[in-house]
């Protein structure tokens, strides 16, 4: 009894101290984050104060290191907890902020007339979202929002380069966005290298079945036999041959295993295009569709003219290779929550999208997004991201200009530009190869992160690679202590798929990514069929046992920033990686 009373008294004391001892000076503004605008963005005018911003506030996750430890243990094939994934509730518990952070942020919002009914919170309460006018946001953050225009593509976004918070909140808020993040999460440009419709550029509504060339080619090194036409046209059949999954019929086509594709920025997956693809390449799947999930109001337009090219290649390859494993399509709203006016058609209140380059992202934001992927891994989700089509730089497939590699740290020096989220240590990133011999290809994104240190699972592999590089090569251009990527690679050229009713060819790491995802889903299916859990976060098992299971890519490499980039070698390298097909035996671990 006494003890209880004492504890009550103590907590009353701490409660009182929390709210009364914060001095006025602690509520005074101090700069929370200040950045140099990334190259390519020009400040236009101040933003209209009446526009509404969807302001997202991230509270620190003091137990994140515990979550990370769980993730590494349950993803380590040699650990007794391998495959024992956490539930969503368990993960939420591990990312919950301190009560004190919640209290202080709530108190701060109330000072500005924002009450609980105006706030939405994530399940773990680590994100607070409020819809407020730019005028109010500018007061709360002692900042000015501007409209910025991108010099190359003319896009507009509303951002600031500096914002402040009361000093007392600095350790209770990780970040607030949209403020300083200029990352645009562009969908990968799938098919910019070899972009043509069926009949050499003219729009072609004829849909013909993929020709079945009888000619076969025997790879002298691996002994594998592949249809010769694979060199020109990549279809489901040829991928199955190339990656040794011919005749593998998924055994557990239930919700225990699913393959998901995310759609952003109004990339809609069209069921008619999907079925045209099935008729062409996966006849047994004709008449089937996918499960649609809307994230944050994302739409499911089935208007053929609004079929997204990214969504088309992703869904057709991912679902086509894994049929009948259930396919899911998550459509995330990509339009801003306010009406864009004719002058500045803003398209910038972006969700987590496919990719961006890290130069445009403040480190706080990149870290927080990356950490959120660890939560999915801990729940047994395998997450794959394309490594990008910019080599070590940031050009589109046709743009290799060196000047696109300037840093935005204020020094204006040339630096390689690692892609994000591909360089996040909690995801598996996919690079590009060419030809059936799988030579690393020049545009394959790859390199080393400036933001994320090298995770221990790849220490040995990356060290071995770095030791092979000539002394002093690319000094200052990359961070040799950073997370190396990609983790795996796959064929990336000449995919035949269907978009807006037409057969077209696609190229890029965003074609390789759904293919690797599909192979992983098949491996997870196999594991479920023998009573094992799905694969979950892949990297620890890939690096620990992968070398035994992969076919090494030793030729080719990427380029960029006026350099030769990183060459493929024996063992791990960022210029093209492995053949995923030998993984079935590995799946027994």
Nearer to ligand NAG, 231 or 288 (CB): 231
Cβ atoms of 158 and 43 within 8 Å: the answer is no
Q: Is 438 a catalytic residue?
A: no
Three-class SS state of 576:
coil
How far is Cα 232 from Cα 283, in angstroms, rounded to an integer? 22
Q: Using CA of residue 240, residue 244, residue 245, residue 248, what is the dihedral sign? A: positive
User: What 3 state SS string does 8-40 have?
Assistant: HHHHHHHHHHHHHCCCHHHHCEEEEEECCCCCC
Bridge partner list, 268: 307
Q: Which of 450, 424, 434, 449 shows the shortest CA–CA distance to 509?
A: 434
With tokens 């080719």, the residue in question is 556
Q: Taking the alpha carbons of 70, 296, 350, 62 in that order, is the dihedral positive or negative?
A: negative
Q: Closer to ligand NAG by CB, 162 or 198: give it.
A: 162
C-beta of 168: minimal distance to ligand NAG in Å? 14
Residue 503, φ and ψ in degrees, nearest 5:
-80, 125
Which 3 state secondary structure label does DSSP give 251? coil
Give least dist CB 142 to ligand NAG, A: 4
Q: How far apart are CA 95 and CA 84, in angstroms?
A: 19
Q: Write down the least CB distance from residue 371 to ligand NAG, Å.
A: 30
Report, in Å, the least distance between residue 32 CB and ligand NAG.
Answer: 12
Q: Which is nearer to ligand NAG, 64 or 217 (CB)?
A: 217
Cα distance between residue 274 and residue 292, in whole Å: 14
> Where do contacts with ligand NAG occur on this chain (CB under 6 A)?
29, 142, 152, 217, 219, 222-224, 228, 231, 242, 244, 303, 305-306, 396, 398-399, 401, 406, 412, 435-436, 438, 470, 473, 551, 557, 564, 567, 579, 581-582
CB of 414 to ligand NAG, least distance (A): 9
Residue 82 or 217 with smaller CB distance to ligand NAG = 217
At its nearest, how many Å lie between ligand NAG and the CB of residue 397?
A: 8
Please tell me which residue in 138, 266, 273, 314 is annotated as part of the active site. Answer: 314
Distances (CA, A) of 298 to 263, 293, 330: 9, 8, 8
Strand 356-357 with 428-434, pairing: unpaired
Q: Tell me whether residue 470 or residue 472 sits nearer to ligand NAG (CB atom).
A: 470
Q: How far apart are CA 186 and CA 421, in angstroms?
A: 12
Q: Which of 134, 119, 126 is nearest to 178 (CA)?
A: 134
Candidate list 510, 524, 577, 581, residue with the active-site label:
510
Helix (H, G, I), strand (E, B) or coil at 58: strand
Nearer to ligand NAG, 224 or 466 (CB): 224
Residue pair 241/248 in contact by the 8 Å Cβ criterion: no
Which of residues 253 and 396 has its CB atom nearest to ligand NAG in the complex? 396
Q: How far is the CB of 29 from ligand NAG (least distance, A)?
A: 4
Inter-residue contact 511 to 495 (CB < 8 Å): yes
DSSP letter assigned to residue 304: G
- 548: phi then psi, degrees, rounded to nearest 5: -70, -30
CB closer to ligand NAG out of 239 and 384: 239
Name the strand (E) or helix (H) holding 585.
Answer: helix 583-586
314 noted as active-site residue? yes
- Provide the minimum distance between the beta carbon of 150 and ligand NAG in the complex, in angstroms, as a whole number: 10
CA distances (Å), origin 424, targets 91, 179, 371: 19, 22, 8
Catalytic option among 310, 354, 371, 573: 310
- Give the residue numbers marked as catalytic: 310, 314, 510
């Amino acid at each position: 009894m006494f003890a209880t009373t004492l504890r009550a008294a103590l907590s009353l004391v701490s409660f009182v101290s929390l709210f009364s001892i914060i001095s006025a000076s602690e509520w005074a503004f101090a700069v929370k984050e200040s950045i140099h605008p990334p190259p390519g963005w020009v400040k236009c005018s101040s933003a209209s104060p009446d526009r509404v911003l969807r302001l997202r506030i991230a509270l620190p996750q003091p137990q994140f290191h515990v979550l990370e430890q769980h993730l590494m243990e349950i993803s380590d094939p040699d650990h007794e907890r391998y495959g024992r994934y956490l539930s969503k509730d368990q993960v939420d518990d591990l990312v919950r902020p301190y009560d004190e952070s919640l209290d202080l942020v709530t108190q701060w919002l109330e000072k500005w007339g924002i009450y609980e009914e105006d706030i939405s919170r994530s399940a773990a309460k680590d994100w607070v979202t409020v819809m407020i006018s730019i005028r109010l946001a500018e007061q709360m953050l002692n900042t000015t929002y501007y409209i910025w225009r991108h010099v190359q593509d003319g896009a507009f976004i509303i951002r600031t380069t500096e914002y402040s918070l009361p000093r007392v909140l600095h350790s209770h808020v990780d970040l607030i966005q949209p403020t300083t993040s200029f990352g645009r999460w562009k969908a990968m440009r799938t098919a910019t290298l070899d972009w043509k419709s069926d009949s050499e550029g003219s729009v072609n509504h004829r849909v013909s079945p993929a020709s079945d060339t009888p000619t076969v080619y025997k790879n002298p090194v691996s002994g594998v036999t592949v249809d010769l036409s694979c060199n020109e046209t990549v279809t489901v059949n040829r991928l199955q041959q190339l990656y040794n999954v011919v005749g593998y019929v998924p055994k557990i086509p239930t919700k225990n295993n699913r393959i998901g594709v995310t759609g952003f920025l109004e990339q809609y997956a069209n069921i008619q295009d999907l079925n045209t693809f099935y008729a062409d390449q996966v006849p047994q799947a004709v008449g089937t569709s996918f499960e649609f999930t809307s994230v944050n109001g994302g739409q499911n337009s089935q208007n053929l003219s609004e079929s997204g090219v990214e969504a088309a290649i992703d869904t057709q390859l991912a679902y086509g290779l894994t049929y009948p494993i259930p396919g899911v399509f998550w459509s995330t709203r990509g339009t801003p929550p306010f009406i864009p006016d004719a002058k500045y058609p803003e398209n910038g209140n972006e969700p987590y999208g496919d990719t961006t380059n890290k130069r445009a992202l403040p480190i706080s934001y990149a870290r927080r997004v990356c950490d959120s992927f660890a939560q999915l891994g801990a729940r047994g989700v395998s997450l794959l991201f394309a490594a990008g089509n910019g080599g070590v730089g940031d050009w589109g497939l046709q743009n290799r200009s060196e000047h696109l590699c300037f840093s935005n740290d204020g020094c204006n020096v040339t630096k390689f530009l690692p892609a994000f989220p591909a360089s996040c240590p909690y995801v598996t990133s996919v690079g590009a190869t060419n030809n059936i011999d799988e030579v690393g290809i020049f545009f394959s994104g790859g390199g080393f992160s400036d933001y994320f240190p090298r995770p221990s699972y790849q220490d040995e592999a990356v060290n071995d690679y770095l030791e092979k590089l000539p002394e002093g090569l690319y000094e200052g251009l990359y961070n040799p202590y950073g997370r190396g990527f990609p983790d795996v690679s796959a064929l990336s050229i000449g995919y035949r798929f269907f978009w807006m009713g037409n057969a077209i060819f696609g190229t890029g790491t965003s074609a390789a990514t759904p293919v690797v995802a599909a192979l992983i889903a098949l491996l997870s299916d196999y594991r479920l069929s023998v009573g094992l859990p799905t694969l979950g976060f892949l990297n620890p098992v890939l690096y620990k046992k992968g070398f035994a299971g992969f076919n090494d890519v030793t030729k080719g490499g990427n380029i960029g920033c006026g350099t030769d980039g990183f060459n493929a070698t024996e063992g791990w390298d960022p210029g093209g990686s492995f053949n995923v097909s030998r993984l079935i035996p590995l799946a027994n671990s």
